[in-house]
Amino acid sequence: MTNILRRVPLSRLVLLCALALAIGVSATALAFALGGGPTPPPEALPVAIHDALAGAAAKPIEGLSASVTFTDRLLEGANLASGNASGAGSGSGSLSSSPLVTGASGRLWVSKDGRVRLELQSQQGDTQILYDGHTLSVYDAATNTLYHYTPPAGEGGEDGGSGSGSSDSSGPEVPSVTKIEEAIARLERHADVSGATPTDVAGQPAYTVRVSPKEGGSLLAGVELSFDSVQGVPLRTAVYSTSSSAPVIELAASEVSYGPVESSVFELSPPSNAKVEEITLPHGGHSGADHQDAGDADRPKVSTHGQGPSAIAVLEAKTKPGSGSGAPAELEGLPKVSIDGVSASELRTELGTILTFERGGVRYLLAGSVSPAPLEALARGL
């Protein structure tokens, strides 16, 4: 992750943060199929998980199509790039119109072999997320940008991340109730885990579980997942902040139908003039947040301050002579705060804060799931 941040231009970090959050919330829902039925009986969480996984293993589906609703209030009220509104077609001017930022309705397809396609509809064109078993591709029509990420060989497992690496026709082994209990116990060292609450999601029988951080200090209140009680697959996932009872980010499915999905559905064809951003991890890269190779002196440096959900990440990048000292275009419309006499742009959201400023030939970018005050205090000490 450190190496990714070092190689991404600062002018696109805000968009990538929004993409990461949106993709991070929907990743679980994209990885599985969706199932169906009435409200299930009350069960202990380990038993509910085991029975759902066992049901999915006993009767795997051929594929599915579903309507989805994606809610995103993360940047609600933020005046992103308002000063560049006259620049028709500019990436920064279109950022605030992206369905990944504003939320949207759309469609989800999952094939039997693990390929996934999610489309979020908007007036400026659909935003499309595609996973083919090897590469994750995201096309954002609002900015006309195509993002690619391909894990290095072996990162997704011994088969290099392929969704079809196993030749065992019996499928993955369903963990026992005891194994599931042990996994939940490990999670509970760091988080509070609710029981399995019987519910009905999109007309399907489901259990809802909520996970909340034990440590205070962050704006993250918890994450909820509603999974089908028969198929063991997510029907809804949501992220909550400490400032509101409504979800900040939510992906929910409805109108689920089962059956094979045509291969053509998983073909992505962006415009020929689309900008392409390749996000890669170099082979043999180090994941330590504070590591710097001898040849990395001019590369951005990433460090973390604090631990747990309230940790703050700091990126420091040397600015090039003649490149100007202004904030990236995406941040020009944001509120300004003073950091020891230096003007800084600050993005405040319900789940965290991003702060950026330049001082002494270095551009600083701080981000964390905290309120502005601790971020500003840390910035003044840099």
Q: Are residues 94 and 155 in the same domain?
A: yes
DSSP 35: -
Q: CATH number, domain at 79?
A: 2.50.20.10
Q: Are residues 296 and 272 in the same domain?
A: no
Q: CATH number, domain at 337?
A: 3.30.200
**pTM of whole model > 0.95?**
no
For the chain, 382 residues long, give each residue's pLDDT as a single digit of tens. 444 444 444 444 444 444 444 444 443 343 333 344 489 999 999 999 999 999 888 888 788 888 999 999 888 766 554 433 333 344 444 556 678 778 889 999 989 888 999 999 887 778 999 998 888 999 988 788 899 888 766 554 444 444 444 444 455 688 999 999 999 999 999 999 999 999 988 788 899 999 999 998 999 999 999 998 987 878 899 999 998 899 999 999 877 777 889 999 999 888 899 999 887 644 443 334 444 454 556 678 889 999 889 999 999 988 876 555 455 555 666 789 999 999 999 999 999 999 999 998 899 999 999 999 999 999 999 8
Domain that holds residue 146: 2-277
- Say if 286 falls within a structural domain: no
User: Which residues, in sequence order, are CB contacts of 352 under 8 Å at separation 6+?
Assistant: 218, 219, 220, 367, 368, 369, 370
Q: Are residues 181 and 321 in the same domain?
A: no
Phi-psi region of 55 (alpha: psi -120 to 50; beta: other; left: phi over 0): alpha
Q: Are residues 114 and 143 in the same domain?
A: yes
Q: Are residues 324 and 243 in the same domain?
A: no
Instruction: Please identify, among 277, 302, 323, the residue that sits at the C-terminal boundary of a domain.
Output: 277
Q: Are residues 41 and 120 in the same domain?
A: yes
Q: Between the CA atoms of 323, 328, 334 and 336, what dihedral angle is there, to the nearest 10 degrees?
A: -30
- Say if 283 falls within a structural domain: no
Q: Are residues 309 and 272 in the same domain?
A: no
Residue 91 near residue 139 (C-beta atoms within 8 A):
no
Domain count, the chain: 2
